[in-house]
Amino acid sequence: MKIKWSFIIIILFTTVLINAQSKNMKTINTIIKSVKDKYAPDKRVALFNVEVKKEKKNLILSGETNIPEAKAELLDKINSKKIKVKDEIDLLPDEKLGDNIFGIVNLSVSSIRSQPKHPAELATQALLGTIVKVLKHKDGFYLVQTPDKYIAWVDDDGIVTVSRDLLYDWESTPKIIYTNDFGFAYVNPDNNSQRVSDLVIGDILINIGEEGDYVKVQFPDKRIAFVEKDNTQAVKDWLATAKPTKENIIETAKSFMGIPYLWGGTSAKEMDCSGFTKTVYFLNGVLLDRDASQQVNNGILVDTENGFENLQKGDLLFFGFKATDKKKERVTHVGIYIGDLEFIHESGRVKINSFDEKKPNFSKYRLEHFIRARRIITSLNENGIIMIKDSKYYNGEL
């Protein structure tokens, strides 16, 4: 009889324990969601991949995040509920990286992918000399965060990893920015000599000195080369003089006419729609968010409720699908207004279309899918807009 009652007590105790664990797991999952919604609502720019699992009698938190505050708040909230958990959440950058938690792009254009494998979707690109944060290494790829906060994978030939001290050396050394659409760096100060690398507008290199009509430059991996001086500008001068005026934005945008479309592209070689707007504004000293669905939150709203009369040159125009009772709004495309009801955008190639049905370049599709406009030029260093000279990735404060 005693054995029977002991067995029943054990069953009851086990049932209570299981129910308590299930309740605690539900509570923890609710907390995880609330913390993720607060700190990492957009997985493109913030990592918070955390889950709770049951292992025998223990509850274990596993996963990773690059936000120390999010991890701390998660643990505090769980602790406030008197729930015991084992913390196995990895805080990035990964300790295995050692001191090398920064990277400098080492190719004219470095492709950054959604997964650590070459066939993976192209998420974005970064130009030579761009500084990135390095979060971890896997299968020959680095998980990096670019100046626009985008997080994705670059192969280990695409960047040179450096410590904070070496990063400071790079940041404090005079540099040049390449100002021609396309070109090359050469072994000698002679365009007929061996090429070292191709270059695109916006690439940044260390300035070692001048030799005749050439600038002697150094790549992040210490390669030495020569670039035609007429195709360069001192970075400090560029940062001081780059201004996103209406005229400058339109002139830069039109200089890319005919450049082909590439999903994820952000260079003068090939670009997607938001890569186009991002590049145009970058060359005029402004750091925009990466995607159209992010850029639509930048700047200030322009009233287009009753037509396009309030638009100004340089405004960003957003297209897609408006919200319905069943579906959320979806922004899928962006262009730049150039006046007279015309806009320039990357769609197959960089081209100009019109909202005016009387014009030969009228786009009925774009008119029907227009959602709203945002003004960038009047929101410098506010409303999500950062001047490059004030970005810690470019002013030596990272």
Q: Do residues 36 and 160 both lie within one domain?
A: no
Position 4 scores a pLDDT of 56
Q: Do residues 81 and 118 both lie within one domain?
A: no
Answer whether residue 395 is part of any domain.
no
Could you say which of 38, 62, 91 is where a domain stops? Answer: 91
Q: Do residues 206 and 336 both lie within one domain?
A: no
Q: Do residues 254 and 316 both lie within one domain?
A: yes
Answer whether residue 225 is part of any domain.
yes
Q: What's the pTM value of the predicted model, to 2 decimals?
A: 0.92
Could you say which of 91, 114, 144 is where a domain stops? Answer: 91
Position 248 scores a pLDDT of 98
Q: Do residues 31 and 81 both lie within one domain?
A: yes
148-204 tens-digit pLDDT: 999 999 999 999 999 999 999 999 999 999 999 999 999 999 999 999 999 999 999
Three-state SS for the chain is CHHHHHHHHHHHHHHHHHHHHHHHHHHHHHHHHHHHHHHCCCCCCCCEEEEEEEECCEEEEEEEECCHHHHHHHHHHHHHCCCCCEEEEEECCCHHHCCCCEEEECCCEEEEECCCCCCCCEEEEEECCCEEEEEEEECCEEEEECCCCCEEEEECCCEEEECHHHHHHHHHCCEEEECCCEEEEECCCCCCCCEEEEEECCCEEEEEEEECCEEEEECCCCCEEEEEHHHEEEHHHHHHHCCCCHHHHHHHHHCCCCCEECCCCECCCCECHHHHHHHHHHCCCEECCCCHHHHCCCCEEECCCCCCCCCCCCCEEEEEECCCCCCCCEEEEEEEEEECCEEEEEECEEEEEECCCCCCCECHHHHHCEEEEEECCCCCCCCCCEEHHHCCCCCCCC
Position 395 scores a pLDDT of 82
Position 12 scores a pLDDT of 45
Answer whether residue 275 is part of any domain.
yes
Q: Do residues 264 and 372 both lie within one domain?
A: yes
Position 135 scores a pLDDT of 99
Q: Do residues 260 and 383 both lie within one domain?
A: yes
Could you say which of 123, 155, 170 is where a domain stops? Answer: 170
Domain count, the chain: 4
Segments in the chain below pLDDT 50: 5, 12-17
Place of tokens 């490059």: 388
Q: Do residues 265 and 357 both lie within one domain?
A: yes
Answer whether residue 327 is part of any domain.
yes
Answer whether residue 383 is part of any domain.
yes
* Degrees to nearest 5, angle at CA 336 with 331 and 341: 105
Q: Do residues 211 and 285 both lie within one domain?
A: no
Answer whether residue 239 is part of any domain.
no
CATH number at residue 230: 2.30.30.40
Answer whether residue 354 is part of any domain.
yes
Q: Do residues 263 and 219 both lie within one domain?
A: no
323-351 tens-digit pLDDT: 999 999 999 999 999 999 999 999 999 99
Q: Do residues 161 and 178 both lie within one domain?
A: no
CATH number at residue 297: 3.90.1720.10
Which residues form the domain of 163? 96-170
Q: Do residues 123 and 211 both lie within one domain?
A: no
Position 216 scores a pLDDT of 99
Answer whether residue 398 is part of any domain.
no
